[in-house]
Amino acid sequence: MLPAWGHQLATVLGSVCVGWGGGGGSALVTLTFHLFNHYGLIELFRLDMVKLRRFLVMIQEDYHSRNPYHNAVHAADVTQAMYCYLQEPKLSKSLTSCDILLGLLAAATHDLDHPGVNEPFLIKTNHYLAALYKNTSVLENHHWRSAVGLLRESGLFSHLPAEDGLNMERQLGSLILATDISRQNEYLSKFREHLDNEDLCLANACHRHFVLQMALKCADICNPCRPWELSKQWSEKVTEEFFHQGDIEKRYKLEVSPLCDSQANTIGNIQIGFMTYVVEPLFAEWARFSDTRLSRTMLGHLGLNKASWSGMLQELAGGADDGAQEGAEVPAEDGNSKALPQGSKES
Ligand SMILES: [Zn+2]
């Protein structure tokens, strides 16, 4: 049994090598294989262990270890979080083995072959993926099609009836596409409506699939809900990736994408905006759906982490004020506005 929450993957996986700098060792393979075994999926779906292992190794290798954030460690982290949500009472008593298989597969593959830049970057640089997917959920479509490619190459489901295999691929796509953050409000509104109407019926396969989509979305952005030390490291990694994109955009005289300009942003203001406008609204609804100790713990960490970033920004702003008072050529207003977090008024 894996620990529920707040434990780093290094703890979860014991002696398995999990290095931030080295692409995470074999954490994704080891964790996903362990969970397949834990849920009895290998026997239930008559999976060939050699094919499964080869498939998982191919997945891990398809993640780019040079990406500071979107690498195999993130995929392992999301898979671990997904496991925690699958164990929540409402889900564990209603999900089928097929739901669990798809949920874990989607978590492990949801950012497959991520290039380390975002969709607007691919569109403005006329990347072939943007043309292939008509500028719509470009990355998510690519992650899904990459996962399908590896599934077929490994032959993991080749013993299943063709129709079942295609159905699995389609459902996997629907889960991965739900992680497109630009469609956040669409999913959140639907979730809120179901919760207001109290009409989610987990005996209904469509409703279970929708809950799996929401669980995967939570797992994907749950870093701000982890304990501070861990959460802070993820924040640093994602900011490093954003700023790296910004540096490329500057080098090639492209418009610098929002959040990617290291001169105009800090980790703190990016995180506070993200927590306020994206993470908090999602996890507040998740806690309404699954009112458990885990949900309360996550919201507790989120509040504490936000307060920590706010405190750091205030210190920074204080420093800027002091500097402004001392140096006549630096207007105090500029010093303040640069340090002001996006969501500070609501915190
Ligand atoms: Zn992700």
User: What is 286-324 written as a DSSP string?
Assistant: HHHHS-SHHHHHHHHHHHHHHHHHHHHHHHHHHHHHHHH
* Mean pLDDT taken over the chain: 88
The architecture CATH gives domain 16-220 = Orthogonal Bundle (1.10)
Burial of 122 (0-12, 13-18, 19+ CB in 10 A): buried
Q: How confident is the model at residue 10 (pLDDT cuts 50, 70, 90)?
A: very low
pLDDT of amino acid 330: 30
| 132-153: pLDDT as tens digits | 999 999 999 999 999 999 999 9
Check the annotation: does 271 bind a ligand.
Answer: yes
Check the annotation: does 80 bind a ligand.
Answer: no
pLDDT at residue 347 is higher than 50? no
* Centre of ligand 1 from the C-alpha of residue 214, in Å: 13
In whole angstroms, what is the distance from residue 287 CA to residue 290 CA?
Answer: 5
* Centre of ligand 1 from the C-alpha of residue 53, in Å: 22
Check the annotation: does 114 bind a ligand.
Answer: no
pLDDT of amino acid 146: 98
Across the range 273-299, mean pLDDT stands at 98
Q: How confident is the model at residue 13 (pLDDT cuts 50, 70, 90)?
A: very low
The more confidently predicted of residues 333 and 285 is 285
* Centre of ligand 1 from the C-alpha of residue 321, in Å: 37
Direct distance between the N- and C-terminal alpha carbons of the chain, in angstroms, rounded to an integer: 37
Put simply, whether the predicted model's pTM sits higher than 0.85 gets the answer: yes
pLDDT at residue 14 is higher than 90? no
Instruction: Spell out the domain ranges in the chain.
Output: 16-220, 223-319
Q: Could you list the active site residues?
A: 70
* Centre of ligand 1 from the C-alpha of residue 112, in Å: 9
Would you say 54 and 29 are in contact if contact means Cβ atoms under 8 Å apart? no
